[in-house]
Structure 1
Amino acid sequence: MNSDENTPTFLEDVKINVKIKLSALWATLMFLYLYLDFFKLYEPGSIEEILAGRVWEFEITQAWALSAMVLMTIPSLMVFLSMALPAKANRLANIIVGALYVFIGIGTMIGEVWYFYLFGHSLGVLLLLLIVWYAWKWPKQEA
C-alpha cells in the first residue's frame, strides 16, 4: 500500500495579485454593461424610441453620444490602467473611479421597472463595491 494514498490532498489556491483582480472586475463590469445595453434594445418600444431620436429621456445628439462614449471609455480604460499604473496611483484611481461609478450605477436604476436591468445594474454596483474594497485593502509591503 502506498502511503501517499492516505495523505490528504488540497486544491492549490494561488494568491492572485490585486492588479489582476481589479482588472478582471473592470472587464467583467464592461461585459455586463454591454449585455445590459444590448438587452435594453429588446424592451417593447425601444427601437421606435431610438428611431425617433431618443434614448431613455434623452435626445440623441452629438453631445449625448460623446457623453455616453466618455462614460463607457473610463471603465474600459480601467481594465488596462488597473494592470499598468503604479500601486499608489492605481489604488487611488480604482477607489475614485469605482466610487463614482457606484453612484452612476445607482442613478441608472432610478425609475427603472425591468427586472433584468435592475438585476444587472445591482450586480454592477456590487462589482464596483468589490473594486473599491480591493483597492482600499491593497496589500502593504514593508519598505
Structure 2
Amino acid sequence: MTANWTRVVLAGSWITLMLIYLLGDVLRIFAGHFESGKLGDRPAPGWMWTLIAAIMLVPIAMILTTLLTPEPPLRWLTISVSIALAIFNLAGMPYKGFFDNLLIVFSLGINAFIIWTVWTWETAET
C-alpha cells in the first residue's frame, strides 16, 4: 500500500470511529438511556461537558493530523491515541444497552485496525 493510500485508509478509519461514537450517543438518547444534564445518575458540572467535547474532538482532529503530519511522528501519535481511546472506552463498559456494548466492541476493532495499519506501514515518504 502506498504512503498516500495508507493515509486515506487511516483518515477513513478515524471517520468511521467518530461516526460510531456519534451513533452510540444518538441511540442512547432515543433509547432513553440519557437524562439531560446528567452523566450516569449524577448531575454533571459544566467543565465535564467541555472535557467530553475535547475527547470527542480527538478522532476528528486525527483525520486532519493523519493527512498532514510527517510519517515518523504520525506512527507513534496514532498508536498512542488509538490505545488511549480504547482504554477510555473499556473503562466505561459495560453500558446499559446491548447496542452500546456492540458499538464499543466494534470501535475497539477499528482502533486495533488503525494500530495494525500504522504498525505495518512499510512505505517511507521521500
Q: What TM-score do you get using the length of structure 2 for normalisation?
A: 0.88
Greater CA deviation, 127-136 or 53-62?
Answer: 53-62
Greater CA deviation, 56-65 or 27-36?
Answer: 56-65
1:82 is paired with a residue of what secondary structure? helix
In structure 2, the CA distance between the partners of 1:83 and 1:45, relative to structure 1 (3 Å rule), is closer
Given that residues 89 and 104 in structure 2 are in contact (C-alpha distance below 8 angstroms), is that contact kept between their aligned partners in structure 1? yes
Given that residues 94 and 135 in structure 1 are in contact (C-alpha distance below 8 angstroms), is that contact kept between their aligned partners in structure 2? yes
Distance 1:129 1:88 in 2: 19
CA positional deviation for 1:57: 4.2
Counterpart of 1:75 (choices 59, 64, 69) is 59
Counterpart of 1:26 (choices 1, 8, 14) is 14
Aligned: 1:119 with 2:102: yes
Q: What stretches of structure 1 move > 6 A for 4+ residues in a row? A: none
2:16 is paired with a residue of what secondary structure? helix
2:92 is paired with a residue of what secondary structure? helix
Which structure has the larger Rg over C-alpha atoms?
1
Distance 2:41 2:109 in 1: 26
Q: What TM-score do you get using the length of structure 1 for normalisation?
A: 0.78
Aligned: 1:41 with 2:29: yes
Cα RMSD of the aligned pairs, angstroms, is 2.1
List gaps (5 residues or longer) in structure 1. 1-13
CA positional deviation for 1:115: 0.8
Q: Which amino acid aligns with 1:81?
A: T
Q: Which has the higher contact order (CA 8 A, sep 6+)?
A: 2
1:139 is paired with a residue of what secondary structure? coil
In structure 2, the CA distance between the partners of 1:107 and 1:127, relative to structure 1 (3 Å rule), is same
In structure 2, the CA distance between the partners of 1:60 and 1:142, relative to structure 1 (3 Å rule), is closer
Q: Which amino acid aligns with 1:19?
A: R
Q: Which amino acid aligns with 2:19?
A: F
Aligned: 1:94 with 2:95: no
Spell out, residue by residue over 1:9-57, the C-alpha distance to the aligned partner (whole angstroms, 9 max, x if none): xxxxx867211111100000101111100000022363xx21xx31224
Given that residues 71 and 125 in structure 2 are in contact (C-alpha distance below 8 angstroms), is that contact kept between their aligned partners in structure 1? no
Q: Which amino acid aligns with 1:61?
A: P
